[in-house]
Structure 1
Amino acid sequence: MARFQAGPAMVAVAGIGILSVMDGLIKYAAGTHGIGQIALMRYGFGALVAFAVFRATRTALPSMEIVRPHAWRSVVVAATAFFFFYSLAVLPLAVALALSFTSPIFIALFAAALLGERPGRSILIALGLGFIGVLVVLWSEIEPAAHAGGDTNALGLAAAIASAITYALAMVTLKSRAARDPLPTIVLLQNAFAGTLLAPLGIVQWTLPTLGEVLVFFTIGALGTAGHLCMAWAYGRADASRLGVLEYTAFVWAVGIGLLAFGEIPSAGTLLGAALIVGGALVASRRASSVPEPEVEIGP
Protein backbone atom coordinates (compact mmCIF):
# COMPACT_ATOMS: atom_id res chain seq x y z
CA MET A 1 0.00 0.00 0.00
CA ALA A 2 1.31 3.47 -0.90
CA ARG A 3 0.40 6.58 1.01
CA PHE A 4 -1.40 9.26 -0.97
CA GLN A 5 1.17 11.90 -1.83
CA ALA A 6 0.27 15.11 0.00
CA GLY A 7 2.75 17.26 -1.93
CA PRO A 8 1.19 16.87 -5.40
CA ALA A 9 -2.30 17.21 -3.91
CA MET A 10 -1.45 20.48 -2.13
CA VAL A 11 0.23 21.91 -5.24
CA ALA A 12 -2.76 20.86 -7.38
CA VAL A 13 -5.19 22.55 -4.98
CA ALA A 14 -3.05 25.71 -5.04
CA GLY A 15 -3.02 25.60 -8.85
CA ILE A 16 -6.79 25.17 -8.93
CA GLY A 17 -7.16 28.15 -6.61
CA ILE A 18 -4.96 30.32 -8.84
CA LEU A 19 -6.97 29.29 -11.89
CA SER A 20 -10.22 30.02 -10.01
CA VAL A 21 -9.07 33.61 -9.46
CA MET A 22 -8.27 33.75 -13.18
CA ASP A 23 -11.81 32.55 -13.98
CA GLY A 24 -13.27 35.39 -11.92
CA LEU A 25 -11.21 37.93 -13.86
CA ILE A 26 -12.29 36.35 -17.16
CA LYS A 27 -15.93 36.69 -16.11
CA TYR A 28 -15.25 40.34 -15.33
CA ALA A 29 -13.52 40.97 -18.68
CA ALA A 30 -16.32 39.24 -20.62
CA GLY A 31 -18.57 42.19 -19.83
CA THR A 32 -16.66 44.43 -22.26
CA HIS A 33 -14.70 42.15 -24.62
CA GLY A 34 -15.44 39.11 -26.80
CA ILE A 35 -14.33 35.67 -25.69
CA GLY A 36 -11.97 35.39 -28.65
CA GLN A 37 -10.06 38.51 -27.61
CA ILE A 38 -10.01 37.41 -23.98
CA ALA A 39 -8.63 33.99 -24.96
CA LEU A 40 -6.01 35.55 -27.24
CA MET A 41 -4.85 37.97 -24.54
CA ARG A 42 -4.91 35.25 -21.88
CA TYR A 43 -2.62 32.96 -23.88
CA GLY A 44 -0.58 35.79 -25.39
CA PHE A 45 0.40 37.22 -22.02
CA GLY A 46 0.59 33.69 -20.63
CA ALA A 47 3.16 32.82 -23.29
CA LEU A 48 5.25 35.88 -22.38
CA VAL A 49 5.29 34.89 -18.70
CA ALA A 50 5.99 31.26 -19.59
CA PHE A 51 8.86 32.32 -21.86
CA ALA A 52 10.36 34.35 -19.00
CA VAL A 53 10.21 31.25 -16.79
CA PHE A 54 11.64 29.15 -19.62
CA ARG A 55 14.65 31.47 -19.99
CA ALA A 56 15.15 32.00 -16.23
CA THR A 57 15.38 28.25 -15.66
CA ARG A 58 17.76 27.83 -18.63
CA THR A 59 15.58 25.08 -20.07
CA ALA A 60 16.90 23.48 -23.24
CA LEU A 61 15.09 24.06 -26.53
CA PRO A 62 12.60 21.24 -27.17
CA SER A 63 13.05 18.77 -30.00
CA MET A 64 10.32 18.06 -32.55
CA GLU A 65 9.66 14.80 -30.70
CA ILE A 66 8.60 16.90 -27.72
CA VAL A 67 6.87 19.67 -29.68
CA ARG A 68 4.60 17.37 -31.69
CA PRO A 69 2.44 15.89 -28.87
CA HIS A 70 2.14 19.32 -27.23
CA ALA A 71 0.95 20.83 -30.50
CA TRP A 72 -1.80 18.20 -30.64
CA ARG A 73 -2.67 18.74 -26.97
CA SER A 74 -2.97 22.49 -27.52
CA VAL A 75 -5.90 21.89 -29.87
CA VAL A 76 -7.77 20.40 -26.91
CA VAL A 77 -6.58 23.24 -24.64
CA ALA A 78 -7.81 25.87 -27.11
CA ALA A 79 -11.19 24.13 -27.39
CA THR A 80 -11.46 24.04 -23.60
CA ALA A 81 -10.74 27.76 -23.38
CA PHE A 82 -13.31 28.63 -26.05
CA PHE A 83 -16.09 26.52 -24.51
CA PHE A 84 -15.40 27.56 -20.91
CA PHE A 85 -14.93 31.27 -21.62
CA TYR A 86 -18.22 31.24 -23.54
CA SER A 87 -20.02 29.55 -20.65
CA LEU A 88 -18.56 32.12 -18.23
CA ALA A 89 -19.85 34.93 -20.46
CA VAL A 90 -23.45 33.70 -20.79
CA LEU A 91 -24.09 31.73 -17.56
CA PRO A 92 -24.02 32.68 -13.90
CA LEU A 93 -20.54 31.98 -12.54
CA ALA A 94 -21.81 29.39 -10.05
CA VAL A 95 -23.63 27.43 -12.76
CA ALA A 96 -20.67 27.48 -15.17
CA LEU A 97 -18.28 26.34 -12.44
CA ALA A 98 -20.65 23.67 -11.14
CA LEU A 99 -20.98 22.11 -14.59
CA SER A 100 -17.21 22.25 -15.07
CA PHE A 101 -16.83 20.13 -11.94
CA THR A 102 -17.98 17.10 -13.92
CA SER A 103 -14.42 17.05 -15.34
CA PRO A 104 -13.03 14.68 -12.63
CA ILE A 105 -15.47 12.01 -13.79
CA PHE A 106 -14.22 12.35 -17.35
CA ILE A 107 -10.61 12.47 -16.10
CA ALA A 108 -11.09 9.13 -14.34
CA LEU A 109 -12.68 7.63 -17.48
CA PHE A 110 -9.98 8.95 -19.82
CA ALA A 111 -7.21 7.91 -17.40
CA ALA A 112 -8.58 4.37 -17.34
CA ALA A 113 -8.97 4.20 -21.12
CA LEU A 114 -5.73 5.93 -22.16
CA LEU A 115 -3.28 5.52 -19.29
CA GLY A 116 -4.36 2.17 -17.87
CA GLU A 117 -5.11 3.66 -14.43
CA ARG A 118 -7.64 1.74 -12.36
CA PRO A 119 -9.40 4.03 -9.87
CA GLY A 120 -9.93 2.34 -6.50
CA ARG A 121 -13.10 2.29 -4.44
CA SER A 122 -12.21 5.50 -2.58
CA ILE A 123 -11.86 7.35 -5.89
CA LEU A 124 -15.25 6.08 -7.09
CA ILE A 125 -16.88 7.10 -3.80
CA ALA A 126 -15.22 10.52 -4.02
CA LEU A 127 -16.42 10.99 -7.58
CA GLY A 128 -19.94 10.04 -6.56
CA LEU A 129 -20.01 12.44 -3.61
CA GLY A 130 -18.59 15.23 -5.71
CA PHE A 131 -21.07 14.70 -8.51
CA ILE A 132 -24.00 14.66 -6.09
CA GLY A 133 -22.65 17.91 -4.67
CA VAL A 134 -22.61 19.40 -8.16
CA LEU A 135 -26.23 18.34 -8.71
CA VAL A 136 -27.25 19.96 -5.44
CA VAL A 137 -25.55 23.21 -6.47
CA LEU A 138 -27.16 23.11 -9.91
CA TRP A 139 -30.59 22.57 -8.38
CA SER A 140 -30.13 25.46 -5.95
CA GLU A 141 -29.05 27.78 -8.78
CA ILE A 142 -31.32 26.74 -11.66
CA GLU A 143 -34.59 25.76 -9.95
CA PRO A 144 -35.37 29.26 -8.58
CA ALA A 145 -34.86 30.78 -12.05
CA ALA A 146 -37.09 28.14 -13.65
CA HIS A 147 -39.77 28.69 -11.00
CA ALA A 148 -39.71 32.41 -11.80
CA GLY A 149 -40.25 31.71 -15.49
CA GLY A 150 -36.68 32.52 -16.59
CA ASP A 151 -35.11 30.98 -19.68
CA THR A 152 -32.29 28.45 -19.53
CA ASN A 153 -29.31 29.09 -21.82
CA ALA A 154 -29.04 25.63 -23.41
CA LEU A 155 -26.05 26.60 -25.56
CA GLY A 156 -24.18 27.92 -22.54
CA LEU A 157 -24.94 24.75 -20.56
CA ALA A 158 -23.76 22.60 -23.46
CA ALA A 159 -20.56 24.66 -23.73
CA ALA A 160 -19.85 24.18 -20.02
CA ILE A 161 -20.22 20.41 -20.32
CA ALA A 162 -18.08 20.37 -23.47
CA SER A 163 -15.36 22.31 -21.65
CA ALA A 164 -15.39 19.73 -18.86
CA ILE A 165 -14.85 16.91 -21.37
CA THR A 166 -12.05 18.65 -23.28
CA TYR A 167 -10.41 19.81 -20.03
CA ALA A 168 -10.38 16.23 -18.78
CA LEU A 169 -8.70 15.06 -21.99
CA ALA A 170 -6.17 17.90 -21.69
CA MET A 171 -5.31 16.87 -18.12
CA VAL A 172 -4.90 13.19 -19.01
CA THR A 173 -2.68 14.02 -21.98
CA LEU A 174 -0.73 16.30 -19.64
CA LYS A 175 -0.17 13.25 -17.42
CA SER A 176 1.37 11.43 -20.38
CA ARG A 177 3.99 14.17 -20.82
CA ALA A 178 4.46 15.71 -17.35
CA ALA A 179 6.85 13.02 -16.14
CA ARG A 180 8.99 13.29 -19.31
CA ASP A 181 9.22 16.95 -20.35
CA PRO A 182 10.45 19.99 -18.37
CA LEU A 183 7.62 21.98 -16.79
CA PRO A 184 8.68 25.30 -18.39
CA THR A 185 8.59 23.62 -21.80
CA ILE A 186 5.12 22.16 -21.23
CA VAL A 187 3.58 25.46 -20.15
CA LEU A 188 5.35 27.56 -22.79
CA LEU A 189 4.24 25.29 -25.65
CA GLN A 190 0.69 25.12 -24.30
CA ASN A 191 0.35 28.90 -24.16
CA ALA A 192 2.09 29.56 -27.47
CA PHE A 193 0.16 26.97 -29.48
CA ALA A 194 -3.24 27.70 -27.90
CA GLY A 195 -2.75 31.44 -28.43
CA THR A 196 -1.88 30.84 -32.09
CA LEU A 197 -4.97 28.69 -32.64
CA LEU A 198 -7.26 31.26 -31.02
CA ALA A 199 -5.63 34.29 -32.68
CA PRO A 200 -7.98 34.49 -35.73
CA LEU A 201 -11.09 34.68 -33.53
CA GLY A 202 -9.37 37.17 -31.25
CA ILE A 203 -8.47 39.43 -34.16
CA VAL A 204 -12.03 39.35 -35.52
CA GLN A 205 -13.45 40.34 -32.11
CA TRP A 206 -10.70 42.83 -31.24
CA THR A 207 -11.61 46.07 -29.46
CA LEU A 208 -9.02 48.49 -28.12
CA PRO A 209 -8.51 47.86 -24.37
CA THR A 210 -7.75 50.58 -21.85
CA LEU A 211 -4.55 50.49 -19.81
CA GLY A 212 -6.48 49.09 -16.85
CA GLU A 213 -7.95 46.34 -19.03
CA VAL A 214 -4.48 45.49 -20.36
CA LEU A 215 -3.36 45.02 -16.75
CA VAL A 216 -6.35 42.74 -16.16
CA PHE A 217 -5.44 40.70 -19.26
CA PHE A 218 -1.82 40.47 -18.14
CA THR A 219 -2.93 39.26 -14.70
CA ILE A 220 -5.16 36.65 -16.35
CA GLY A 221 -2.23 35.40 -18.43
CA ALA A 222 0.18 35.36 -15.48
CA LEU A 223 -2.30 33.49 -13.26
CA GLY A 224 -2.98 30.99 -16.05
CA THR A 225 0.73 30.26 -16.44
CA ALA A 226 1.29 29.97 -12.68
CA GLY A 227 -1.72 27.71 -12.25
CA HIS A 228 -0.69 25.38 -15.05
CA LEU A 229 2.88 25.18 -13.76
CA CYS A 230 1.40 23.91 -10.49
CA MET A 231 -0.88 21.44 -12.29
CA ALA A 232 1.90 20.14 -14.55
CA TRP A 233 4.16 19.56 -11.52
CA ALA A 234 1.40 17.73 -9.64
CA TYR A 235 0.27 15.57 -12.57
CA GLY A 236 3.85 14.47 -13.11
CA ARG A 237 3.91 12.97 -9.60
CA ALA A 238 0.48 11.44 -8.95
CA ASP A 239 -2.31 9.55 -10.72
CA ALA A 240 -4.55 11.69 -12.95
CA SER A 241 -7.72 10.04 -11.62
CA ARG A 242 -6.75 10.81 -8.01
CA LEU A 243 -5.78 14.43 -8.67
CA GLY A 244 -8.87 14.89 -10.83
CA VAL A 245 -11.11 14.58 -7.78
CA LEU A 246 -9.40 17.65 -6.32
CA GLU A 247 -10.90 19.73 -9.14
CA TYR A 248 -14.00 19.85 -6.93
CA THR A 249 -12.14 22.13 -4.51
CA ALA A 250 -12.46 24.89 -7.14
CA PHE A 251 -15.99 25.33 -5.85
CA VAL A 252 -14.66 26.12 -2.39
CA TRP A 253 -12.28 28.64 -3.92
CA ALA A 254 -15.18 30.17 -5.87
CA VAL A 255 -17.31 30.54 -2.73
CA GLY A 256 -14.44 32.24 -0.92
CA ILE A 257 -13.69 34.58 -3.83
CA GLY A 258 -17.36 35.47 -4.22
CA LEU A 259 -17.74 36.23 -0.52
CA LEU A 260 -14.54 38.27 -0.13
CA ALA A 261 -14.50 40.08 -3.47
CA PHE A 262 -18.19 40.50 -4.29
CA GLY A 263 -20.01 40.07 -0.98
CA GLU A 264 -21.94 37.05 -2.27
CA ILE A 265 -23.44 34.95 0.51
CA PRO A 266 -23.83 31.30 -0.57
CA SER A 267 -27.24 29.65 -0.26
CA ALA A 268 -27.97 26.62 1.90
CA GLY A 269 -27.91 24.44 -1.23
CA THR A 270 -24.54 25.86 -2.20
CA LEU A 271 -23.11 25.11 1.25
CA LEU A 272 -24.52 21.56 1.19
CA GLY A 273 -23.02 20.97 -2.24
CA ALA A 274 -19.67 22.33 -1.06
CA ALA A 275 -19.74 19.99 1.95
CA LEU A 276 -20.28 16.98 -0.34
CA ILE A 277 -17.54 18.17 -2.68
CA VAL A 278 -15.04 18.60 0.17
CA GLY A 279 -16.08 15.24 1.57
CA GLY A 280 -15.27 13.64 -1.77
CA ALA A 281 -11.83 15.26 -1.83
CA LEU A 282 -11.14 14.00 1.71
CA VAL A 283 -12.17 10.46 0.79
CA ALA A 284 -9.75 10.61 -2.13
CA SER A 285 -6.87 11.34 0.27
CA ARG A 286 -7.09 7.86 1.79
CA ARG A 287 -4.44 5.23 1.01
CA ALA A 288 -4.59 3.47 -2.30
CA SER A 289 -2.62 0.78 -4.09
CA SER A 290 0.27 2.06 -6.13
CA VAL A 291 -0.12 2.04 -9.89
CA PRO A 292 2.90 1.56 -12.16
CA GLU A 293 3.73 4.54 -14.33
CA PRO A 294 2.63 3.69 -17.89
CA GLU A 295 4.83 4.48 -20.85
CA VAL A 296 2.05 5.76 -23.07
CA GLU A 297 2.21 8.23 -25.94
CA ILE A 298 -1.03 10.09 -26.58
CA GLY A 299 -1.70 12.00 -29.77
CA PRO A 300 -0.09 11.90 -33.21
Structure 2
Amino acid sequence: MKPVSTATAFGVASFGIAAFSAMDALMKGLSVEMGAYNALLWRTLAGAVIGGAMFFARRSPWPGPQAARIHVLRGVLSAAMAFLFFWGLARVPLAQGVALSFVAPLIALYLAAWLLKEKIERQAILASLLGFAGVLVILSGQAAAEMGPEAFRGALAILASAGLYAYNIILMRRQALLAKPLEVAFFMSFIMSACFLIAAPLLAVAPTAPQVPALAGAALLAFVSLMLLSWAYARAEAQHLAPVEYTAFIWASFFGLVVFSEPVLPLTLIGAAMIVVACVIATRRRPVSIAEMEAAL
Protein backbone atom coordinates (compact mmCIF):
# COMPACT_ATOMS: atom_id res chain seq x y z
CA MET A 1 0.00 0.00 0.00
CA LYS A 2 1.48 3.34 -1.09
CA PRO A 3 1.84 5.71 1.91
CA VAL A 4 -0.10 8.98 1.80
CA SER A 5 -0.25 11.96 4.13
CA THR A 6 -2.93 12.26 6.80
CA ALA A 7 -4.10 15.44 5.06
CA THR A 8 -4.70 13.51 1.83
CA ALA A 9 -6.64 10.79 3.67
CA PHE A 10 -8.66 13.49 5.45
CA GLY A 11 -9.47 15.17 2.13
CA VAL A 12 -10.62 11.90 0.56
CA ALA A 13 -12.75 11.14 3.63
CA SER A 14 -14.29 14.63 3.34
CA PHE A 15 -15.41 13.86 -0.20
CA GLY A 16 -16.81 10.57 1.09
CA ILE A 17 -18.89 12.40 3.71
CA ALA A 18 -20.11 14.91 1.10
CA ALA A 19 -21.25 12.05 -1.16
CA PHE A 20 -22.96 10.35 1.77
CA SER A 21 -24.75 13.57 2.72
CA ALA A 22 -26.06 14.00 -0.83
CA MET A 23 -27.27 10.39 -0.65
CA ASP A 24 -29.02 11.17 2.65
CA ALA A 25 -30.93 13.99 0.96
CA LEU A 26 -32.05 11.72 -1.89
CA MET A 27 -33.00 8.95 0.54
CA LYS A 28 -34.98 11.31 2.77
CA GLY A 29 -37.15 12.25 -0.20
CA LEU A 30 -37.52 8.61 -1.25
CA SER A 31 -38.32 7.51 2.32
CA VAL A 32 -41.12 10.07 2.49
CA GLU A 33 -42.50 8.90 -0.88
CA MET A 34 -42.17 5.11 -0.66
CA GLY A 35 -41.21 4.35 2.96
CA ALA A 36 -37.77 3.70 4.45
CA TYR A 37 -37.90 -0.06 3.79
CA ASN A 38 -38.59 0.19 0.04
CA ALA A 39 -36.15 3.08 -0.43
CA LEU A 40 -33.39 1.01 1.20
CA LEU A 41 -34.35 -2.24 -0.54
CA TRP A 42 -34.11 -0.78 -4.05
CA ARG A 43 -31.09 1.39 -3.27
CA THR A 44 -29.04 -1.47 -1.85
CA LEU A 45 -30.09 -3.77 -4.71
CA ALA A 46 -28.94 -1.15 -7.21
CA GLY A 47 -25.70 -0.76 -5.26
CA ALA A 48 -25.14 -4.52 -5.25
CA VAL A 49 -25.62 -4.66 -9.03
CA ILE A 50 -23.22 -1.75 -9.62
CA GLY A 51 -20.68 -3.15 -7.18
CA GLY A 52 -21.01 -6.72 -8.42
CA ALA A 53 -20.41 -5.65 -12.02
CA MET A 54 -17.19 -3.89 -10.99
CA PHE A 55 -16.08 -6.58 -8.53
CA PHE A 56 -16.45 -9.50 -10.95
CA ALA A 57 -15.24 -7.54 -13.99
CA ARG A 58 -11.94 -6.95 -12.17
CA ARG A 59 -11.83 -10.62 -11.18
CA SER A 60 -11.26 -9.59 -7.59
CA PRO A 61 -10.31 -12.42 -5.22
CA TRP A 62 -12.99 -13.78 -2.89
CA PRO A 63 -12.57 -12.58 0.73
CA GLY A 64 -10.93 -14.85 3.27
CA PRO A 65 -12.79 -16.17 6.34
CA GLN A 66 -11.76 -13.28 8.60
CA ALA A 67 -12.73 -10.58 6.09
CA ALA A 68 -15.97 -12.41 5.21
CA ARG A 69 -16.94 -12.48 8.90
CA ILE A 70 -16.44 -8.71 9.20
CA HIS A 71 -18.38 -8.11 5.97
CA VAL A 72 -21.37 -10.09 7.22
CA LEU A 73 -21.31 -8.55 10.69
CA ARG A 74 -21.03 -4.98 9.43
CA GLY A 75 -23.57 -5.60 6.63
CA VAL A 76 -26.26 -6.90 9.00
CA LEU A 77 -25.52 -4.13 11.49
CA SER A 78 -25.68 -1.50 8.74
CA ALA A 79 -29.04 -2.79 7.49
CA ALA A 80 -30.65 -2.24 10.89
CA MET A 81 -28.79 1.04 11.39
CA ALA A 82 -29.83 2.40 7.98
CA PHE A 83 -33.48 1.48 8.40
CA LEU A 84 -33.73 3.23 11.77
CA PHE A 85 -31.89 6.28 10.46
CA PHE A 86 -33.94 6.81 7.31
CA TRP A 87 -37.23 5.96 9.04
CA GLY A 88 -36.39 8.70 11.51
CA LEU A 89 -35.05 11.08 8.86
CA ALA A 90 -38.38 10.98 7.04
CA ARG A 91 -39.90 12.54 10.18
CA VAL A 92 -37.35 15.17 11.26
CA PRO A 93 -35.40 17.94 9.48
CA LEU A 94 -32.22 16.70 7.76
CA ALA A 95 -29.81 18.84 9.80
CA GLN A 96 -31.45 17.81 13.07
CA GLY A 97 -31.27 14.12 12.21
CA VAL A 98 -27.58 14.33 11.32
CA ALA A 99 -26.85 16.33 14.48
CA LEU A 100 -28.47 13.64 16.64
CA SER A 101 -26.40 10.95 14.91
CA PHE A 102 -23.22 12.66 16.15
CA VAL A 103 -23.64 10.99 19.55
CA ALA A 104 -22.28 7.76 18.01
CA PRO A 105 -18.62 8.44 18.97
CA LEU A 106 -19.69 9.00 22.59
CA ILE A 107 -21.59 5.71 22.64
CA ALA A 108 -18.52 4.08 21.08
CA LEU A 109 -16.53 4.99 24.19
CA TYR A 110 -18.79 2.85 26.36
CA LEU A 111 -18.81 0.05 23.82
CA ALA A 112 -15.01 0.11 23.87
CA ALA A 113 -15.15 -0.15 27.65
CA TRP A 114 -17.48 -3.15 27.40
CA LEU A 115 -15.86 -4.93 24.45
CA LEU A 116 -12.21 -3.96 24.97
CA LYS A 117 -12.33 -3.76 28.78
CA GLU A 118 -11.05 -0.18 28.72
CA LYS A 119 -11.36 2.03 31.74
CA ILE A 120 -13.63 5.00 31.03
CA GLU A 121 -11.69 8.13 31.91
CA ARG A 122 -13.16 11.03 33.84
CA GLN A 123 -13.03 13.38 30.84
CA ALA A 124 -14.97 10.82 28.79
CA ILE A 125 -17.72 10.74 31.41
CA LEU A 126 -17.91 14.54 31.48
CA ALA A 127 -17.96 14.59 27.68
CA SER A 128 -20.83 12.11 27.68
CA LEU A 129 -22.83 14.35 29.99
CA LEU A 130 -22.18 17.33 27.72
CA GLY A 131 -23.19 15.30 24.66
CA PHE A 132 -26.37 14.12 26.39
CA ALA A 133 -27.17 17.72 27.27
CA GLY A 134 -26.70 18.58 23.59
CA VAL A 135 -29.24 15.93 22.63
CA LEU A 136 -31.72 17.37 25.13
CA VAL A 137 -31.18 20.85 23.67
CA ILE A 138 -31.96 19.56 20.16
CA LEU A 139 -35.05 17.72 21.39
CA SER A 140 -36.22 20.80 23.28
CA GLY A 141 -35.90 22.79 20.05
CA GLN A 142 -38.02 20.13 18.37
CA ALA A 143 -40.66 20.47 21.07
CA ALA A 144 -40.60 24.28 20.84
CA ALA A 145 -41.17 24.05 17.09
CA GLU A 146 -44.20 21.81 17.79
CA MET A 147 -43.21 19.15 15.29
CA GLY A 148 -45.45 16.60 16.96
CA PRO A 149 -45.12 13.01 18.24
CA GLU A 150 -44.01 11.61 14.85
CA ALA A 151 -40.93 13.85 14.89
CA PHE A 152 -40.14 12.74 18.45
CA ARG A 153 -40.36 9.07 17.42
CA GLY A 154 -38.15 9.87 14.45
CA ALA A 155 -35.55 11.42 16.75
CA LEU A 156 -35.59 8.32 18.99
CA ALA A 157 -35.08 6.08 15.93
CA ILE A 158 -32.06 8.15 14.86
CA LEU A 159 -30.58 7.90 18.37
CA ALA A 160 -31.04 4.10 18.24
CA SER A 161 -29.32 4.12 14.83
CA ALA A 162 -26.45 6.10 16.36
CA GLY A 163 -26.03 3.36 18.96
CA LEU A 164 -25.57 0.79 16.20
CA TYR A 165 -23.25 3.13 14.30
CA ALA A 166 -21.06 3.33 17.39
CA TYR A 167 -20.23 -0.36 16.99
CA ASN A 168 -19.86 0.26 13.27
CA ILE A 169 -17.06 2.73 14.08
CA ILE A 170 -15.17 -0.04 15.88
CA LEU A 171 -15.60 -2.35 12.88
CA MET A 172 -14.87 0.18 10.12
CA ARG A 173 -11.09 0.48 10.39
CA ARG A 174 -10.65 -3.24 10.96
CA GLN A 175 -12.63 -3.95 7.79
CA ALA A 176 -10.66 -1.34 5.83
CA LEU A 177 -7.39 -3.03 6.77
CA LEU A 178 -8.64 -6.49 5.74
CA ALA A 179 -10.25 -5.66 2.39
CA LYS A 180 -9.88 -3.29 -0.55
CA PRO A 181 -12.42 -0.44 -1.05
CA LEU A 182 -14.22 -2.14 -3.96
CA GLU A 183 -14.65 -5.34 -1.96
CA VAL A 184 -15.95 -3.43 1.08
CA ALA A 185 -18.47 -1.44 -0.99
CA PHE A 186 -19.75 -4.48 -2.91
CA PHE A 187 -20.21 -6.79 0.06
CA MET A 188 -21.80 -4.06 2.18
CA SER A 189 -24.44 -3.50 -0.53
CA PHE A 190 -24.85 -7.22 -1.17
CA ILE A 191 -25.34 -8.22 2.48
CA MET A 192 -27.63 -5.29 3.23
CA SER A 193 -29.73 -6.25 0.16
CA ALA A 194 -29.94 -9.83 1.42
CA CYS A 195 -31.22 -8.58 4.79
CA PHE A 196 -33.92 -6.41 3.22
CA LEU A 197 -34.97 -9.12 0.74
CA ILE A 198 -36.10 -11.33 3.64
CA ALA A 199 -39.17 -9.11 4.11
CA ALA A 200 -39.68 -8.42 0.38
CA PRO A 201 -42.62 -10.86 -0.09
CA LEU A 202 -44.60 -8.86 2.48
CA LEU A 203 -43.33 -5.31 2.12
CA ALA A 204 -41.72 -4.74 -1.29
CA VAL A 205 -43.39 -2.29 -3.67
CA ALA A 206 -41.90 -1.61 -7.11
CA PRO A 207 -40.64 1.96 -7.59
CA THR A 208 -42.37 4.27 -10.05
CA ALA A 209 -40.53 5.52 -13.14
CA PRO A 210 -39.77 8.99 -11.63
CA GLN A 211 -38.24 7.31 -8.54
CA VAL A 212 -35.77 5.16 -10.49
CA PRO A 213 -33.21 7.95 -11.24
CA ALA A 214 -33.19 9.01 -7.57
CA LEU A 215 -32.68 5.41 -6.44
CA ALA A 216 -29.86 4.91 -8.95
CA GLY A 217 -28.26 8.18 -7.86
CA ALA A 218 -28.52 7.26 -4.17
CA ALA A 219 -27.00 3.83 -4.86
CA LEU A 220 -24.09 5.33 -6.79
CA LEU A 221 -23.44 7.99 -4.13
CA ALA A 222 -23.51 5.38 -1.34
CA PHE A 223 -21.14 3.12 -3.29
CA VAL A 224 -18.68 5.96 -4.02
CA SER A 225 -18.83 7.12 -0.40
CA LEU A 226 -18.08 3.63 0.94
CA MET A 227 -15.08 3.30 -1.37
CA LEU A 228 -13.70 6.74 -0.47
CA LEU A 229 -14.11 6.22 3.29
CA SER A 230 -12.64 2.71 3.12
CA TRP A 231 -9.64 4.06 1.17
CA ALA A 232 -9.12 6.82 3.74
CA TYR A 233 -9.53 4.61 6.84
CA ALA A 234 -7.00 2.14 5.45
CA ARG A 235 -4.40 4.93 5.28
CA ALA A 236 -4.96 6.97 8.44
CA GLU A 237 -5.92 6.23 12.02
CA ALA A 238 -9.55 6.62 12.98
CA GLN A 239 -8.66 9.24 15.60
CA HIS A 240 -7.31 11.50 12.84
CA LEU A 241 -10.32 11.03 10.59
CA ALA A 242 -13.07 11.25 13.23
CA PRO A 243 -13.53 15.06 12.90
CA VAL A 244 -14.46 14.68 9.23
CA GLU A 245 -17.78 13.18 10.33
CA TYR A 246 -18.87 16.58 11.62
CA THR A 247 -18.72 18.15 8.14
CA ALA A 248 -21.91 16.18 7.50
CA PHE A 249 -23.82 18.79 9.51
CA ILE A 250 -22.77 21.52 7.08
CA TRP A 251 -23.92 19.45 4.11
CA ALA A 252 -27.15 18.42 5.87
CA SER A 253 -27.97 22.04 6.65
CA PHE A 254 -27.32 22.97 3.01
CA PHE A 255 -29.36 20.13 1.47
CA GLY A 256 -32.14 20.52 4.05
CA LEU A 257 -32.53 24.20 3.20
CA VAL A 258 -32.13 23.93 -0.58
CA VAL A 259 -34.01 20.67 -1.24
CA PHE A 260 -36.61 20.57 1.56
CA SER A 261 -36.83 24.25 2.60
CA GLU A 262 -35.94 23.26 6.19
CA PRO A 263 -34.47 26.15 8.21
CA VAL A 264 -31.87 25.16 10.80
CA LEU A 265 -33.26 25.85 14.27
CA PRO A 266 -30.99 27.85 16.64
CA LEU A 267 -31.29 25.14 19.31
CA THR A 268 -30.23 22.53 16.73
CA LEU A 269 -27.05 24.56 16.07
CA ILE A 270 -26.37 24.91 19.81
CA GLY A 271 -27.03 21.23 20.52
CA ALA A 272 -24.90 20.10 17.57
CA ALA A 273 -22.02 22.30 18.77
CA MET A 274 -22.29 20.81 22.28
CA ILE A 275 -22.18 17.25 20.91
CA VAL A 276 -19.21 18.00 18.66
CA VAL A 277 -17.25 19.59 21.53
CA ALA A 278 -18.11 16.59 23.70
CA CYS A 279 -16.80 14.20 21.04
CA VAL A 280 -13.57 16.17 20.66
CA ILE A 281 -13.02 16.10 24.43
CA ALA A 282 -13.85 12.40 24.68
CA THR A 283 -11.58 11.29 21.83
CA ARG A 284 -8.49 13.00 23.24
CA ARG A 285 -7.41 9.77 24.87
CA ARG A 286 -5.31 6.68 24.22
CA PRO A 287 -6.04 5.24 20.76
CA VAL A 288 -7.30 1.68 20.54
CA SER A 289 -4.79 -0.67 18.92
CA ILE A 290 -5.68 -3.05 16.10
CA ALA A 291 -4.70 -5.97 18.32
CA GLU A 292 -7.32 -4.87 20.86
CA MET A 293 -9.95 -4.62 18.13
CA GLU A 294 -9.10 -8.14 16.95
CA ALA A 295 -9.42 -9.44 20.49
CA ALA A 296 -12.85 -7.83 20.84
CA LEU A 297 -14.06 -9.30 17.55
TM-score range, shorter chain: 0.7 to 0.9
Task: Quote the residue 1:194 is aligned against.
Answer: 192
- Aligned counterparts, 1:162-181, within 5 A: 162-181=160-179
Listed one character per residue, the Cα deviations across residues 96-148 of structure 1 (whole Å, up to 9, x for unaligned) are 323222112123433455468899999999877766555443332332317xx
- Aligned counterparts, 1:1-300, within 5 A: 5-55=6-56, 57-111=58-112, 113-114=114-115, 134-145=135-146, 150-151=148-149, 155-273=153-271, 292-294=289-291, 296-297=293-294
Unaligned runs of 5+ in 2: none
Classify 1:271/1:84 alpha carbon distance in 2 versus 1 (closer, same or farther; 3 Å). Answer: closer
TM-score, structure 1 length as denominator? Answer: 0.80
Deviation at 1:31, TM superposition (A): 2.4
- Please give the root-mean-square deviation of Cα atoms over the aligned residues, in Å: 3.5
Deviation at 1:164, TM superposition (A): 0.5
Within 1, Cα distance between the matches of 2:232 and 2:118?
A: 16
The code of the aligned residue for 2:168 comes to A
Q: Which moved more, 1:54-63 or 1:11-20?
A: 54-63
Deviation at 1:218, TM superposition (A): 1.0
Classify 1:154/1:106 alpha carbon distance in 2 versus 1 (closer, same or farther; 3 Å). Answer: same
Classify 1:284/1:181 alpha carbon distance in 2 versus 1 (closer, same or farther; 3 Å). Answer: same
Within 2, Cα distance between the matches of 1:71 and 1:60?
A: 17
TM-score, structure 2 length as denominator? Answer: 0.80
Deviation at 1:57, TM superposition (A): 5.0
Listed one character per residue, the Cα deviations across residues 44-94 of structure 1 (whole Å, up to 9, x for unaligned) are 111122224424655322233422231122221111112112212333434
Alignment partner of 2:241: what SS? helix
Q: Is the 8 A contact 1:69 1:299 kept in 2?
A: no
Alignment partner of 2:145: what SS? helix
Deviation at 1:39, TM superposition (A): 1.4
Tell me the percent identity: 33
Q: Is the 8 A contact 1:123 1:245 kept in 2?
A: no
Q: Is the 8 A contact 2:47 2:219 kept in 1?
A: yes
Classify 1:82/1:291 alpha carbon distance in 2 versus 1 (closer, same or farther; 3 Å). Answer: closer
Classify 1:34/1:258 alpha carbon distance in 2 versus 1 (closer, same or farther; 3 Å). Answer: closer
Deviation at 1:217, TM superposition (A): 0.9
Unaligned runs of 5+ in 1: none
Within 1, Cα distance between the matches of 2:70 and 2:283?
A: 31
Alignment partner of 1:207: what SS? coil
